[in-house]
């Protein structure tokens, strides 16, 4: 099994060195920006003592020092070392910075602060970054999707790219480049790609179908949904909707070492049993927040949801996805890790010491995180059709789901409170400069990057994927979304 990679994804930025001293002290911290740099350096030490001392020195006494130390140490060991790659926004109450974790996944560290009377930390939030500054200027005159895919794959140095759109019910697809730098087979329109964390929107759709069928309920709690599975009592009243919104306090589990995966999986051999082992492991731990206390992006939460779904339906999650989403929508080029994948398909790539090298993620971690997007493969056309099903629901049309169910899945809440970014149930809601809001998600397994965007105002769906991981920003998929949406802004 290859080294596990993280399934949570974020928009990347150009890499710069993090030169902040690991010996930061109060005297060296003169600003909020210094403070978040010192925090990252402290986490990178993976020293329990240093982390505890940092918390005692800088954090408001609004949580147990031992509990916070435990959470931050777990974050440091799972994701570190972190590299600061760009400064984000800064206000008197929040300061953001973009980081890369040990596997190259891009995350936003959001430090909630109190500036007066003294600079203090209120809380730390880790989330995928859904925003970029500015619009692309060099792709505004694209002629067709193939030309746009060619230009974007070249800019992002990706071997291949696929883009699909559905606008006012008319579908188009354009592909460019090669499936792999080895062999040079050209990308085909029906090729399947890894969609990464876009699988969270599929998982919430499965839950929505089960809610429509009255096999589950929005306010059903974990104790009821997981009968017979022991759990920390603090999880018992957490609801399915809170978990779908990343507000259930479920451990984030943004990454694992191979040894940790092997410990959790143990003797489990089927996808269902692997998830059962993982869910039992999660629920033994303490929550990272109280129910509805705050947004904390969690791969573990969506793994939990997939297991709840398969228990409620008495059907393994992979089969359930096919029966409740792929087959009803006629998605003939969509697969799970339990399916035999097409032999000829785009291969993922990562940056090696001497350039790009082919890379794929396989193994038990795909089954563990199926609900979070592990082992989900779709063509860009199928991904766009999935987006169209949700667009129909947002426009009041019953279909795969009841329109009321779709609208509730897409009802976003600010993260953090008062912020511009919204997160609903497996869908982020973002407003890019000069455009109407879109509902979507990005995704990556570290070797590919995908983007799905649904624009209700433009009656437009865009899906775009490249077969390369990496740090280029804005991501090629998001640039495709912006270039295409700009074309239709203000048009019927």
Q: Quick one: pLDDT at residue 14?
A: 21
83 and 205 inside one domain: no
Strand partners, 461: 166, 454
Per-residue pLDDT tens for 74-100? 888 877 888 888 777 677 777 878 887
* Domain annotation covers residue 6: no
254 and 321 inside one domain: yes
93 and 145 inside one domain: no
Q: Which of 224, 228, 152 is nearest to 187 (CA)?
A: 152
Per-residue pLDDT tens for 355-399? 889 988 778 888 889 999 999 999 999 999 999 999 999 999 999
**Gap between the Cα atoms of 247 and 207, Å rounded:** 16
Domain coverage including residue 474: 140-492
373 and 470 inside one domain: yes
Q: Which of 55-64, 157-166, 293-302 has the lowest mean pLDDT?
A: 55-64
**pLDDT-derived band at 420, boundaries 50, 70, 90:** low
Strands of the sheet containing 94-100, edge to edge, are 83-90, 94-100, 106-114, 120-127
Instruction: Give the chain's domain count.
Output: 2
Neighbours of 135 (CB within 10 A): 17
Q: Of 96, 127, 158, at which residue does a domain stop? A: 127
Mean pLDDT of 52-68: 81
> What would the two tokens of residue 351 be?
């940056």
Average pLDDT for the chain? 86
Domain containing 300 — which CATH number? 3.40.710.10
**Gap between the Cα atoms of 399 and 378, Å rounded:** 21
Domain containing 119 — which CATH number? 3.10.450.50
Mean pLDDT of 159-167: 98
> What would the two tokens of residue 14 be?
């150009």
* Domain annotation covers residue 280: yes
297 and 359 inside one domain: yes
Strands (E) in 232-338, as ranges, are: 334-336
Q: Which of 28, 49, 48, 47 is nearest to 37 (CA)?
A: 28
* Domain annotation covers residue 100: yes
35 and 164 inside one domain: no
110 and 190 inside one domain: no
Q: Which of 16, 427, 47 is nearest to 199 (CA)?
A: 427
* Domain annotation covers residue 69: yes
Enumerate residues 6+ apart whose C-beta is below 8 A from 352: none
Q: Of 100, 127, 154, at which residue does a domain stop? A: 127
404 and 312 inside one domain: yes
217 and 325 inside one domain: yes
Checking 66-70 for CB contacts under 8 A at 24+ apart, the result is 67/286, 70/286
* Domain annotation covers residue 132: no
* Domain annotation covers residue 16: no
* Domain annotation covers residue 8: no
240 and 361 inside one domain: yes
> What would the two tokens of residue 158 be?
């990706």
* Domain annotation covers residue 13: no
162 and 53 inside one domain: no
106 and 220 inside one domain: no
Q: Of 69, 94, 127, at which residue does a domain stop? A: 127
């Amino acid at each position: 099994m290859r080294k596990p990679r993280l399934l949570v994804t974020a928009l990347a930025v150009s890499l710069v060195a993090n030169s902040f001293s690991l010996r930061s002290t109060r005297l060296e911290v003169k600003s909020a920006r210094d403070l978040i740099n010192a925090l990252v350096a402290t986490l990178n030490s993976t020293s329990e003592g240093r982390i505890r001392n940092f918390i005692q020195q800088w954090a408001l006494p609004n949580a147990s020092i031992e509990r916070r130390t435990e959470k931050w140490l777990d974050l440091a060991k799972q994701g570190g070392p972190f590299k600061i790659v760009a400064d984000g926004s800064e206000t008197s109450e929040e300061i953001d910075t973009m980081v890369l974790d040990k596997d190259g996944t891009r995350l936003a560290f959001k430090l909630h602060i109190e500036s007066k009377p003294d600079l203090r930390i209120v809380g730390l939030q880790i989330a995928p970054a859904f925003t970029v500054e500015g619009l692309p200027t060099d792709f505004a005159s694209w002629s067709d999707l193939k030309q746009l895919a060619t230009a974007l794959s070249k800019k992002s140095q990706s071997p291949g790219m696929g883009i699909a759109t559905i606008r006012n019910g008319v579908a188009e697809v354009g592909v460019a480049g090669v499936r792999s730098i080895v062999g040079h087979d050209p990308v085909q329109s029906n090729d399947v790609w890894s969609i990464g964390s876009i699988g969270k929107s599929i998982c919430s759709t499965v839950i929505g179908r089960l809610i429509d069928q009255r096999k589950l309920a929005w306010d059903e709690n974990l104790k009821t949904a997981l009968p017979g599975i022991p759990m920390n009592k603090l999880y018992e009243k957490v609801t399915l909707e809170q978990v779908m919104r990343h507000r259930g306090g479920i451990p984030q589990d943004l990454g694992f070492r191979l040894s940790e995966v092997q410990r959790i999986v143990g003797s489990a051999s089927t996808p269902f049993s692997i998830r059962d082992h993982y869910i039992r492991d999660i629920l033994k731990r303490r929550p990272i927040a109280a129910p509805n206390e705050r947004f904390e992006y969690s791969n573990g939460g969506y793994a939990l949801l997939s297991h709840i779904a398969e228990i409620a339906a008495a059907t393994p999650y992979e089969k359930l996805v096919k029966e409740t989403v792929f087959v009803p929508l006629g998605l003939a080029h969509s697969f799970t890790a339990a399916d035999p994948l097409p032999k000829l398909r785009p291969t993922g790539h990562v940056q090696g010491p001497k350039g790009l090298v082919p890379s794929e993620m396989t193994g038990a971690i795909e089954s563990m995180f199926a609900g979070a997007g592990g082992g989900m493969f779709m063509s860009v056309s199928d991904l766009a059709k999935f987006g169209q099903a949700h667009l129909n629901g947002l426009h009041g049309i019953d279909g795969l789901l009841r329109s009321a169910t779709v609208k509730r899945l897409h009802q976003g809440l600010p993260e953090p409170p008062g912020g511009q970014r919204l997160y609903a149930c497996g869908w982020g809601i973002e407003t890019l400069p000069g455009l109407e809001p879109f509902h979507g998600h990005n995704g990556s397994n570290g070797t590919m990057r995908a983007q799905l965007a649904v624009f209700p105002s433009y009656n437009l769906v865009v899906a775009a994927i490249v077969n390369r991981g990496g740090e280029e920003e804005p991501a090629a998929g998001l640039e495709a979304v912006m270039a295409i949406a700009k074309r239709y802004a203000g048009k019927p």
